[in-house]
Structure 1
């Protein structure tokens, strides 16, 4: 079936679904195949649950007019998303980076929604499946799209750009994330910059942080840029943004407007500044920008403040890499609270650099004088230091209640890679 014909079916449907547990009447089901699942096996179930059609790529599961047989379901999903994006023709801002993508995306969505009917990436749907699903969630009423792009190997951002065809772009930063796939920090920079390459080749606009030397160097010859700086009176900045407070919540000033936020950590300054920068570019009223950012509250284990009795917890357990953990520890060390402790889980996908990077974090704990530290996971267990170490969460779970009662710490930072699921720690307080 041609993509144009499939698009007509899509437009008459209630939207695309890839999980039969989420099927609603008149959905268009795509049978995707992974290492541990075969969506073709659920085509019949999808139709029985109310799907209008099931797109499959295995003839053994063809059951008549309600199934659409294609060569590759995933590739067809991606082609349909690109076709739909071109059909709508709306402006799209893409963002990527090592840290802060999702928080920045949520802030951008909040600000842009003050002027446009905006659709943004839901949760963390930022890969070769998530980006197409995000594009297909947009319709004729959508006025602006915000698409988050994640990557763990080279050429992935380039591929996602070819699907989303962004008009605007922003890279949060370049850090030590997914080193196993990228090979080195230089590999990270090269891969994330694929967004810049796409935008420059198509003469599109780039938002950037003037104080990031890597971004400045890469954009020296590109004229369609709009930049921000956190240094007072930076003459090259298109908008002046000043930091005013970081104890514990971040506040900023831009022009004559002060914004008090629900975000913790100096690492969030650039995330906020990017949202202000984009809002300013699209001439969104300053008070609307202030309301949007002030009302944003982080969720999903990202820099959340959780209170358990008299204990206050900074829960930042959605993800972790060397750059983000170092930033979190720097901020935590600056907080004035006396009785502080950290719970850190292994940073994953670091490949050959795992041992070195975990030891660097342990050394940083000592440099900051953070004495009460609980380190969980095989990588941290192998490090040298006086901190309490546990091979796995079960060992930590057994020991932690006793040490908690003994030390009486009242401020905790919890951070680790997603697979460590350190939000489980909350049950132990």
Structure 2
């Protein structure tokens, strides 16, 4: 079946899904394969649950006219999304980077939705499956799509750009993330810059942090760029006024008091302001949108309990974001501070060195107490208290109740350190 024919069928459905648990009436189910599953086996179940069509790539599972065979389900999903994006033709803003992608995406969406009908990536559905599903969730009424793109290997952003064909783009930063897949920091820069390469090759507009030396160098010969910084030399001047603990920024005639902590969130907010102003959202509405946004899903959340003020930043971690979080925690004026840090994943051969660097940084900043948890942090040389596993940490916390009033919890998603809240608040 051609992509155009598949798209004709898709327009009669209520959307695309790849998980039978998310099937609603008249959806189109794509039977994707994984290392431990074969989606083809669930085609009949999808139809029984209400899917209008099921797309398979193994003929033996075609048991009715509503089960459609293609050569490759994943490729068909991606090509359908690419076709659909051109069919509905919204303005697409793509963003990638090592840190802050999801928060930045949500801030941009909050601002632009004040003026436009927007669709943004849900959660962190930012990979070779998530990006197509995001595009297929848009329709003719969508004016702007904000598409988050994640990657841990070279050529992934390039492929996602080919599917989404963005009109605008932004890279949050280049940090020490996914070093194992990218082969080092230079690989990270090259991989994330595939977004710039795509846009520059088509002379599309790039938004950039005019205080980031890497971005300045990458774009020095490119004219279609919109920069922001704290100086009047850039297109948009946005000034940090305070970050203790919440970030406050000044732009033109407004002061914006956000609900985000950490100076590292300054650029995330600033680019949302920049895009809002560029796309002619009023300053009043920009201010309203950003001040109404509250972080969730374990991202820089402040949780006030009876005994503690907890900064929960346990959604993810890499050396760059870890350093930024520690520096920010150190700058807060509150006294009696406890760090609880979990392992950083996907660092490959750099894992030992990077964990030791963070352990020494924590020690040098001289917090009241530091607790490290995970196999990599356990191997470090430090005076901090160390535990190999979460269960060991849990057992300690239940017996030795922290006396510090301020606690920063940060680690990679796989550590799931938010579980410690139950024991801190018990």
Match 1:234 to one of 232, 235, 241: 232
Correspondence 1:11 to 2:11: yes
Q: Provide the C-alpha distance between the structure 1 equivalents of 2:391 and 2:163, rounded to a whole number of angstroms.
A: 43
CA contact (8 A) 1:365 1:371 kept: no
Aligned partner of residue 146 in structure 1, secondary structure: strand
1:366 paired residue number: 363
CA contact (8 A) 1:371 1:387 kept: no
2:83 paired residue number: 83
1:193-272 counterparts in 2 under 5 A? 193-230=193-230, 233-235=231-233, 237-272=234-269
1:112 paired residue number: 112
Q: CA offsets per residue over residues 143-177 of structure 1, 9 Å max, x none?
A: 10000000000000000000000000000000000
Structure 1: runs of 5+ lacking an equivalent: none
Correspondence 1:422 to 2:417: yes
Q: Provide the C-alpha distance between the structure 1 equivalents of 2:177 and 2:21, rounded to a whole number of angstroms.
A: 32
Q: Provide the C-alpha distance between the structure 1 equivalents of 2:198 and 2:147, rounded to a whole number of angstroms.
A: 15
Q: Provide the C-alpha distance between the structure 1 equivalents of 2:38 and 2:334, rounded to a whole number of angstroms.
A: 51
TM-score normalized with structure 2 length: 0.99
Match 1:409 to one of 404, 420, 423: 404
CA contact (8 A) 1:135 1:164 kept: yes
Q: Provide the C-alpha distance between the structure 2 equivalents of 1:100 and 1:283, rounded to a whole number of angstroms.
A: 24
Q: Provide the C-alpha distance between the structure 1 equivalents of 2:266 and 2:72, rounded to a whole number of angstroms.
A: 43
Aligned length: 424
1:171 paired residue number: 171
Q: Provide the C-alpha distance between the structure 1 equivalents of 2:373 and 2:42, rounded to a whole number of angstroms.
A: 39
Q: Provide the C-alpha distance between the structure 1 equivalents of 2:77 and 2:43, rounded to a whole number of angstroms.
A: 15
2:334 paired residue number: 337
Deviation at 1:401, TM superposition (A): 2.1
1:162 paired residue number: 162
Q: Provide the C-alpha distance between the structure 2 equivalents of 1:423 and 1:169, rounded to a whole number of angstroms.
A: 32
Q: Provide the C-alpha distance between the structure 2 equivalents of 1:277 and 1:50, rounded to a whole number of angstroms.
A: 43
Aligned partner of residue 26 in structure 2, secondary structure: coil
Deviation at 1:328, TM superposition (A): 0.2
Aligned partner of residue 174 in structure 1, secondary structure: coil
Aligned partner of residue 152 in structure 2, secondary structure: coil
Say which is worse superposed, 191-200 or 363-372, in terms of deviation.
363-372
Deviation at 1:240, TM superposition (A): 1.3
Q: CA offsets per residue over residues 330-385 of structure 1, 9 Å max, x none?
A: 00000111111011110000000000000000110111112411111000000001
CA contact (8 A) 2:314 2:410 kept: yes
Match 1:400 to one of 385, 397, 408: 397
Match 1:380 to one of 377, 380, 383: 377
CA contact (8 A) 2:118 2:145 kept: yes
Aligned partner of residue 11 in structure 2, secondary structure: helix
CA contact (8 A) 1:118 1:146 kept: yes
Q: Provide the C-alpha distance between the structure 1 equivalents of 2:252 and 2:24, rounded to a whole number of angstroms.
A: 48
Q: Provide the C-alpha distance between the structure 1 equivalents of 2:25 and 2:194, rounded to a whole number of angstroms.
A: 39
2:152 paired residue number: 152
2:27 paired residue number: 27
Q: CA offsets per residue over residues 260-301 of structure 1, 9 Å max, x none?
A: 000000000000111011111111100000000010000000
CA contact (8 A) 2:368 2:404 kept: no
CA contact (8 A) 2:97 2:174 kept: yes
Structure 2: runs of 5+ lacking an equivalent: none
| Superposition CA RMSD, Å | 0.8
Deviation at 1:307, TM superposition (A): 2.1
Q: Provide the C-alpha distance between the structure 2 equivalents of 1:330 and 1:191, rounded to a whole number of angstroms.
A: 27
Q: Provide the C-alpha distance between the structure 2 equivalents of 1:41 and 1:203, rounded to a whole number of angstroms.
A: 45
Match 2:349 to one of 334, 352, 368: 352
Aligned partner of residue 4 in structure 2, secondary structure: helix
Aligned partner of residue 370 in structure 2, secondary structure: strand
Q: Provide the C-alpha distance between the structure 2 equivalents of 1:59 and 1:255, rounded to a whole number of angstroms.
A: 61
CA contact (8 A) 1:58 1:69 kept: yes
TM-score normalized with structure 1 length: 0.98
